[in-house]
């Protein structure tokens, strides 16, 4: 194998390249994970700085009286948590073991108008490398670091500030961030000012911490007003509903221009009266000889007043129990309309209704226990009539079909037979045939005309289970000397 040595050499070179890529990839991944850690440190510092800013805004005057130009007020994470500007679960120690705290001092820039400035910085722990300090400071607003002893250097070296300005010391490799006089003055304004609009994450800017004296002026265009109690020295006008869930006491008359909704009851030692127009309802005495009386005076335009129980809807249901005799001085008008032969509910047995023509119907039970609407005093049978052909759609269940046909035949001289043949169908299927036949016999001398119209009647009862919705037909098929026929069917149980 003359090329075996070259192949081994090529394989060795490939392995060296692969090893180099692996080492490089491991280094890149390690740097990536380190940057993620640095980003977390930057976010921690940003949050601590924001909390200190809000704390100073709330206690600006107090801190201004306590802080000196070189003697700071040290603000710890515990102080920020106790005042609610920093979450209780926040950790002020970063992954390098460095602890965040703040220092607030008076600025020397304008002695006639004293202002505050502050720094947040870390102490103790492990010193961070320059690369980490530079990366983290670039991701904190106003961020810096301590690389040269006793001096804060801003991100990418853009500014420097001695630690002595804030009266504090720390070691190299620590983090820091500046809060300028303008930042803290704005924080004071945010804390003292009542904002007209909501500020995300700062509900306190829309909260009053003392009473508001309107000086006799109005509060207009308010939505819902929530509070513990309300005291009014004059009138309170309510245009719509007043919902009261607790006890209410009124020393004078209460007038409402809209509805009064009562979810339980109205208790009165005298009487309760409701009045609209010339109609009124009164429960209790109030001048009546009987203190337990219920008085109703119901009137309406042109004498059409009415008392509605359960509403005006056709499906409204209300139970009205009356013990004793009832007397109606006028007519009793039934608004409920039903169809004779239709099924009624067993719970409605004895109920009274009417059909569209005004015939009185009642819910009846037949001998088989079925409940249907039938005419008062009948068994629930239904009858229909027609000429030559008849079609009817059943509105109830029946057991028998009674067919009666009366046929008129044309006159003819001599001995002859006339007939009219009919089919009886249910839903298009013939169940029977009914042939109306008459034979005329002529006897006697010949030579003269003897012809007259003749009639014949055929009747038949068929036992058939008719269901509601079935179509019953009696159809003329054929005939001899047939003129016309009167057909009548009767459905019964």
Radius of gyration of the chain measured on its C-alpha atoms: 52
Q: Which pLDDT does position 415 carry in this prediction? A: 79
Supply the pLDDT for residue 114.
86
Give pLDDT, residue 309: 57
3-state secondary structure the chain: CCCHHHHHHHHHHHHHHHHHHHHHHHHHHHHHHHHHHHHHHHHHHHHHHHHHHHHHHHCHHHHHHHCCCCCCEEECHHHHHHCCCCCCCCCCECCCCCEEEEEEEECCCCCCCCCEEEEEEEECCCCCCHHHHHHHHHCCCCEEEECCCCEEEEHHHCCEEEHHHHCCCCCCCEEEEEECHHHHHHHHHHHHCCCCCCCCCCHHHHCCCCCCCCCCCCCCCCCCCCCCCCCCCCCCCCCCCCCCCCCCCCCCCCCCCCCCCCCCCCCCCCEEEEEECCEEEEEECCCCCCCCCEEEECCCHHHCCCCCCCCCCCCCCCCCCCCCCCCCCCCCCCCCECCCCCECCHHHCCCEEECCCCCEEEEEECCCCCEEEEECCCCCCEEEEEECCEEEECCCCEEEEEEEEEEEECCCCCCEEEEEEEEEEECCEEEEEEEEEEEECCCCCCCCCCCCCEEEEEEEEEEEEECCCCEEEEEEEEEECEEEEEEEEEEEC
Q: Where are the domains of the chain?
A: 24-192, 272-299, 346-375, 382-492
What is the structure's pLDDT at 23?
Answer: 56
Tokens (6 digits) for 23: 């080492």
Order of strands across the sheet with 143-146? Answer: 73-75, 99-106, 116-123, 174-179, 143-146, 151-154, 160-162
pLDDT of the residue at 123: 92
Q: pTM surpassing 0.85? A: no
Kindly report, residue by residue over 64-79, the tens digit of the pLDDT. Answer: 888 898 899 999 999 9
- Interval 293-342: pLDDT, tens: 666 666 654 445 555 555 555 555 556 666 666 777 777 777 788 888 78
pLDDT of residue 446: 61
Residues (pLDDT < 70) of the chain are: 1-10, 12-15, 18-34, 189-195, 199-202, 205, 209, 251, 256-258, 269, 277-279, 283-325, 367, 376-380, 442-453
Which CATH number is 382-492's, of 2.60.120, 1.10.150, 2.40.50, 3.40.50?
A: 2.60.120
């Amino acid at each position: 194998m003359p090329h075996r040595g070259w192949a081994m050499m090529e394989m060795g070179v490939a392995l060296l390249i692969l090893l180099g890529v692996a080492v490089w990839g491991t280094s890149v991944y390690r740097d990536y994970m380190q940057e993620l850690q640095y980003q977390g440190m930057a976010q921690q510092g940003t949050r601590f700085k924001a909390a200190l800013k809000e704390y100073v805004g709330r206690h600006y005057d107090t801190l201004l009286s306590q802080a000196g130009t070189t003697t700071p007020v040290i603000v710890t994470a515990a102080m920020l948590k106790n005042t609610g500007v920093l979450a209780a679960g926040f950790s002020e120690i970063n992954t390098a073991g460095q602890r965040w705290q703040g220092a607030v001092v008076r600025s020397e820039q304008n002695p006639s108008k004293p202002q505050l400035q502050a720094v947040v910085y870390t102490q103790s722990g492990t010193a961070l490398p320059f690369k980490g300090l530079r990366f983290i400071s670039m991701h904190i607003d106003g961020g810096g670091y301590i690389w040269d002893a006793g001096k804060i250097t801003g991100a990418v070296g853009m500014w420097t500030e001695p630690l002595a300005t804030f009266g504090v010391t720390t070691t190299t490799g620590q983090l820091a961030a500046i809060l300028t006089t303008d930042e803290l003055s704005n924080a004071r304004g945010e804390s003292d000012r009542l904002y007209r609009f909501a500020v995300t994450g700062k509900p306190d800017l829309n909260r009053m911490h003392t009473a508001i004296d309107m000086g006799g002026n109005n509060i207009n265009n308010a939505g819902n007003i929530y509070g513990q109690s309300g005291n009014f020295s004059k009138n309170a006008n309510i245009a719509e509903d007043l919902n009261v869930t607790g006890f209410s006491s009124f020393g004078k008359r209460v007038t409402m221009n809209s509805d009064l909704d009562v979810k339980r009851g109205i208790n009165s030692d005298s009487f309760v009266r409701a009045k609209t127009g010339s109609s009124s309802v009164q429960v209790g005495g109030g001048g009546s000889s009987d203190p337990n009386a219920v008085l109703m005076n119901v009137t309406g335009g042109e004498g059409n007043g009415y008392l509605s129980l359960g509403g005006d809807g056709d499906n409204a249901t209300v139970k009205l129990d009356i013990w004793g005799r009832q007397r109606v001085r006028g007519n009793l008008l039934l608004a409920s309309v039903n169809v004779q032969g239709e099924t009624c509910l067993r719970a409605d047995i004895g109920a009274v209704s009417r059909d569209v023509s005004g015939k009185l119907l009642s819910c009846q039970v037949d001998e088989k226990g079925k409940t249907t609407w039938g005419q008062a005093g009948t068994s629930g049978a239904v009858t229909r009539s027609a000429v030559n052909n008849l079609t009817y759609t059943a509105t109830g269940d029946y057991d028998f079909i009674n067919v009666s046909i009366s046929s008129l035949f044309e006159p003819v001289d001599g001995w002859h037979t006339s007939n009219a043949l009919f089919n009886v169908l249910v839903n298009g299927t013939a169940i029977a045939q009914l042939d109306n036949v008459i034979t005329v016999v002529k006897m006697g001398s010949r030579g003269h005309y003897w012809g007259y119209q003749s009639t014949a009647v055929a009747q038949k009862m068929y036992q058939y289970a008719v269901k509601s919705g079935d179509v019953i037909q009696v159809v003329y098929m054929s005939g001899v000397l047939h003129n016309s026929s009167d057909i009548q069917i009767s459905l019964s149980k």
